Structure 1
Amino acid sequence: MGKLRRALMLVHLLSESSEGLTLDEMAAELGVNRRTAERLRDTLREEFDIEERQDDRTKRFFIRESLRRVYTRPNAEEVAALQAEAQARRAEGSGHAGQLESLLAKVKSALDDRERARLAPDLDALVRLQRSRITAGPLLDATPEAIGVVQGAILAGACVEFEYTAVDGSEAKWRRVIPYGLIHGPTTYLLGKIPPREGRTDKEPVFFRLDRITDPRTSNQAGCAPDDWDLDAWLARSFGIWREDDHDIVLRVGPSAIERARHWRFHPGQVLEEDGDELLVKFRSGGLREIAEHLFTWGGDISIVAPEALRGVMRERVLLALGSV
């Protein structure tokens, strides 16, 4: 504990001193010899930018910035991760790519010239050889303005109004919904619920694709998700994006794929159970078509135990793939 106290005391001394301290002054303040003070200074340099100035023939050392700045300053790895994510979301057409790019620009602009020079070599290397993977998917046009309107309505506790074009391309229809969530990804969705009306039973929230929304605006009608609304729990009831009745899903993993399956997330609520030399994967979810299509990627290493409805959907998808239907 004595070493820790001396380290903390030296950090305080170097950050509070306007003129800086010599090694001899550090040693005197800490009650140690000059060599110990020197070693402690070198150790602190791994975490703090300790600068020095020449005072006649003596060097004086100090920490220029406040301690808060030291601990909130981003490092090269963090900036590179943010840049890779922003670039990937821009490449896949994600609606919130602009917000990530704006954040990246603000982070970089907050760095002073000395910090930029220090980060530049590492940042260049990481940016050149680091990417966020872009998966196959639709090229959509969810505008930043539409996302901004939805976010503004969430903050204002108001409904969102817009014109919505259905998948079949029919004429756009006016909608007013309470914003229950904004789901980002290759396709950006507004999760909205029609405001309850007198004599009408409340329905569950439904998805609206932002690329099919035109003229979005914040409504004059108040509307916000209830305080006990759990977006993560609601999303977990589906395997993918489509909403269906829940089913108890049981999948059987063959011996050759068990190790892979143990390191695979099928569903947030999954349970893995050993069954002889095989593995059972259990969870409750809707989205049978999406589950069936995902199982194609396992090349026959996973079989369906239950429910029978999932078996039926799988047979249908196989026949369609073979061109038999």
Structure 2
Amino acid sequence: MTERMAKLDRLLALVHALSETTDGLTLDEMAERLGVNRRTAERMRDIISRHFDLDEVVDDRRKRFLIRDSLRRVYTRPTAAEVAALQAEVDGRTLAGQNAHAEQLGSLLAKVKAALDDREKRRLDPDLEALARLQRTMVTAGPIAAVAPEAVTTIQSAILCGRCVEFHYATYERPKPRWRRVIPYGLVHGPLTYLVGKMPGRDDQPVYFRLDRMSEAMLSDTIGCAPNDWDIDAWLADSFAVWRDEKQDVVLRVPRSSADRARHWRFHPRQQTEDLADGGLRVRFATGGMRELAEHLFSWGGELVIEGPDMLVAVMRERISVATTMLPTGDMRPVLSQDAATDAA
């Protein structure tokens, strides 16, 4: 055994000794057990105290040290950064009006905190307070849609027991709710929460149902569950976002000036990129949802060219035409150049 490995072996042996003792070990006892001098035992104790909660007990003016918790507890105990990250997610979901998801995450946060003993809470509290005060999940512009927490619970219960879920459903075009029985194929969380499901006994593809438009959700007596080979990630990738129209082969050409930005951008989970001879980049992927893709590409105005498909080009022309209606009638103010717009921002 090399000298380095021998040091590691002694350190691990001391960790186990400190966790197995009930009365604690003095520095002299540590040194004797490991066959090292007192100064070496002291350095090893200091290293261990950085990674474990090392208790100090005074016995007849001698200090004894021990690790009270089991070693497994040390590696499953949450850190202040982990708890603060969960707190930020709960706060962000709450501010965004995603109350159903926020409630479940908040319940998890409460359980994590409740599992901490008093010593752990004292250790975490100062760091947790600082991190929680200065850490946020960004809440961006988007729909405000309240979802009843019991609707999420009902759907999750239906998934677990392999049964359909029943509810009344309304849309903007049809505000009067209609009864639905749906096989749950999954839940999708985001700015809005959706049930992915399909009607039993039909060959139709699954569709989205917004939970904020549901009412009176309940478990059905009808058996129904997603097939074993159902892949929700693959299904989601078939469309750019929520709108699901025919899949198109999308080709985007990015000039050299914007290629670096595009290399660090995800247009689609299954995108493929090709470096061009002029330093530019070509991005390819297949997806549906041309309208939502076109609206996303507005943020790339002046930095890429849509090479295909023709449908995406047509949709982009239509969205540009619609966008001009937001301008004041007869507005003749000059169009900012890209550099000027950047400076203004």
Task: Spell out the pairing of 1:114-133 with structure 2 (5 A cutoff).
Answer: 114-133=119-138
Q: 1:42 aligns with which of 39, 46, 49?
A: 46
Shift of 1:259: 1.2
Task: Spell out the pairing of 1:41-190 with structure 2 (5 A cutoff).
Answer: 41-94=45-98, 95-190=100-195
Q: 1:307 aligns with which of 306, 309, 313?
A: 309
Whether 1:322 and 2:324 are equivalent positions in the alignment is yes
Shift of 1:322: 1.0
Q: Report which stretch shifted further, 165-174 or 96-105.
A: 165-174
Show structure 1 runs of 5+ residues with no match.
none
Distance 2:154 2:10 in 1: 53
Per-residue deviation, residues 242-264 of structure 1 (Å, max 9, x unmatched): 11111111111122211111111
Q: Identical aligned pairs, as a percentage?
A: 60
Shift of 1:2: 1.2
Per-residue deviation, residues 142-173 of structure 1 (Å, max 9, x unmatched): 11110000001001110001111122143211
Show structure 2 runs of 5+ residues with no match.
327-345
Q: Runs of 4+ in structure 1 displaced over 4 angstroms?
A: none
Per-residue deviation, residues 120-160 of structure 1 (Å, max 9, x unmatched): 11111111111111111111011111000000100111000
Shift of 1:228: 1.1
TM-score with structure 2 setting the length: 0.91
SS at match of 2:252: strand
Task: Spell out the pairing of 1:134-283 with structure 2 (5 A cutoff).
Answer: 134-196=139-201, 202-275=203-276, 276-283=278-285
Shift of 1:303: 1.1
SS at match of 2:293: helix
Per-residue deviation, residues 21-41 of structure 1 (Å, max 9, x unmatched): 011111111111111111111
Amino acid across the alignment from 1:314:
M
SS at match of 2:135: coil
TM-score with structure 1 setting the length: 0.96
Which residue of structure 1 lines up, in the alignment, with residue 28 of structure 2? 24
Aligned CA RMSD, in angstroms, stands at 1.1
Shift of 1:278: 1.2
SS at match of 2:204: coil
Distance 1:184 1:143 in 2: 14
